[in-house]
Amino acid sequence: MWSKQIKIWSGAGLILAGVVAGIVFSANMNWMTPGVASEAESKAAERAEPPPDLPSIQNMNRIFVDAAQEILPTVVSISTSRMVERSRSSSLPPLLRDWFGLEDSDPPARQRQYGLGSGVVVSRDGYILTNHHVINESDDIQVTLYDKRVVKGDLVGTDPLTEIAVIKVDAGDLTAARLGDSEILEIGEWVMAVGNPLELSSTVTAGIVSAKGRNIQLVGRGEEESNFAIENFIQTDAAINRGNSGGPLVNLRGEVVGINTAIASGTGYYAGYGFAVPINLARKVMQDLIEKGFVVRAYMGLAMRNVDKVIADRFGMDRPTGVLVAEVVEDSPAEKAGMKPLDVILKLDGKEVTQSNQVQNMVALKNPGDTVALTILRDGKERAVRIKLGQRETGRSTVLPQEEETSFADLGLTVRDLTDELRSRFEWYRDDEGVLVTDLERYSAAAEANITRGSLILQIEDQPVTSVSDYRRILKKAEKGQVVIFHCKYRDTRYHAFVKIPN
């Protein structure tokens, strides 16, 4: 039975195949009737016609291709190396080391450490922009140009507080990139990241500008003046990986708008979040390093923090905006201009500001001697202040640590009068006054506010605090739900805590 069915279906299949083949063959030989042939040809022609929007897609593709072709010849690969010492653990067991009177470990071993990054040629006479961490402490720099020539790179200068470095090569026939304007770059705008990630030379990836003005607390880590670090990153979802550092972020006109610097990732590889130093800042640092050999930094002399909802409520603002002045440095340009602690900076040179790092970046683009116009809020009224910028010469902090920028929800901390023993233990001088924070309750108002253990509370609202009895007396008068300002000091930094008294 199954044999019969197979034969029947086989026969039917052969007949059907013959009919189809005949139709196809007849169509090719024009043996079909003219009406049927014309109809088939018409449908085939319709299928062959491009969709109406294909030309616009092709034009868009051309824009990406043109931008890539313009920037690629300017991108270089940077190989670095340096000698480092690594400790070597002894292969002998501890008992034998003790028996023979040997040290716990063998003498340090010297070995060469290698690094790889990217850079972009910014002038035809050989200046190259890259990242500080690509070059840092290297004693040998080799640059591979787009045409595969390998030349020696000489360090011009490096700035760890902006993550920018400049090197120079002696090579002819160089193509220089065009530098754009990162200030006019818009969120949502297409950009391309170019570099040599994972040793894949001349790689181009595309994405959009995801955000601007990002502060990821990466720059300047471990540096003596890390609180002066300037972070105003462009965030992009264009793929950036190890080896991309120092390469350009470009717009669709082929102009460099940033220097690729970092990624946010739990694995160390691309996870959708890349960050680039804005080219306007990189250009300023580069010019200083080339012309002066160091970076000239203008400064106002303010320690600042962002305005959160609690601070906004305390000052009667309709929304959190602006930057709070936490401290005015003595004899600084800001003090001479009349700035005071608890002023709120609303605008700088007519532009609304919402982040302390935004203010810091805007000042960083200025030169000492320039004047900035501030719009501030003081005592519920807007005022105009003009500050003639000075040149920073000290390592004093200008932006409070990010952990100071949390909202306060509850109150709870232990304070003690300063004694000689406590001064010694917490490293306070004899002329320092206030009450010492010796303990914090977890999840309390003080902990939420990051009033650091070891801080001094100098003042509550406008009343000085010189003893625990002062502290208790002042807080006893505070009403439930009231936001109270604590004036505190930790090390050399003064800060304000806005604490809401629990109901």
At which of 291, 306, 341 does a domain end? 291
Per the CB < 8 A criterion, the answer to whether 239 and 274 are in contact is yes
* 484 and 453 together in one domain: yes
Residue 491, in any domain of the structure: yes
What is the pLDDT, as a whole number, of residue 34? 45
Residue 86, in any domain of the structure: no
Helix (H/G/I), strand (E/B), else coil: 116: strand
Q: Is 191 exposed, middle or buried (0-12, 13-18, 19+ CB in 10 A)?
A: buried
What single-letter DSSP state applies at residue 371? Answer: E
Contacts of 24 (CB under 8 A, 6+ apart): none
Q: What is the CATH number of the domain that holds 230?
A: 2.40.10.10
* 317 and 345 together in one domain: yes
Per the CB < 8 A criterion, the answer to whether 197 and 324 are in contact is no
Structure tokens that stand for 266 in this block: 């739990």
Contacts of 399 (CB under 8 A, 6+ apart): 227, 303, 304, 305, 356, 357, 360
CA-wise closest residue to 297 among 354, 355, 369: 369
What is the pLDDT, as a whole number, of residue 320? 93
* 433 and 486 together in one domain: yes
Q: What is the CA radius of gyration of the chain?
A: 33
Residue 455, in any domain of the structure: yes
* 221 and 283 together in one domain: yes
Task: Read off the pTM.
Answer: 0.64
* 469 and 493 together in one domain: yes
* 185 and 284 together in one domain: yes
Residue 352, in any domain of the structure: yes
Contacts of 312 (CB under 8 A, 6+ apart): 318, 319, 320, 321
Q: Sign of the CA dihedral 181, 183, 188, 192? A: positive
Instruction: Report the number of distinct structural domains present in the chain.
Output: 3
* 374 and 438 together in one domain: no
Residue 231, in any domain of the structure: yes
Residue 3, in any domain of the structure: no
* 377 and 420 together in one domain: no
* 367 and 464 together in one domain: no
Q: 337 is in which domain, residue-wise?
A: 298-391
What is the distance between the alpha carbons of residues 403 and 292, in angstroms, rounded to a whole number? 35
At which of 261, 291, 321 does a domain end? 291
Residue 127, in any domain of the structure: no
Q: Residues of 88-119 as b/e, b for ≥16 C-beta within 10 angstroms?
A: eeeeeeeeeeeeeeeeeeeeeeeeeeebbbbb
Residue 428, in any domain of the structure: yes
What is the pLDDT, as a whole number, of residue 19? 40
* 307 and 236 together in one domain: no
* 382 and 341 together in one domain: yes
Phi, psi of 439 (to 5 degrees): -160, 155
- Per-block mean pLDDT, blocks of 10 residues, the chain (503 long): 40 42 36 47 57 77 95 95 66 53 56 88 96 89 95 92 93 94 95 91 93 78 60 90 92 96 74 89 93 87 89 92 90 93 95 90 91 94 94 45 34 81 79 85 74 88 89 85 88 84 76
At which of 335, 358, 391 does a domain end? 391
* 215 and 264 together in one domain: yes
Structure tokens that stand for 18 in this block: 């013959």
User: How many other CB atoms are there within 10 angstroms of residue 443's CB atom?
Assistant: 11
Q: What is the CATH number of the domain that holds 427?
A: 2.30.42.10
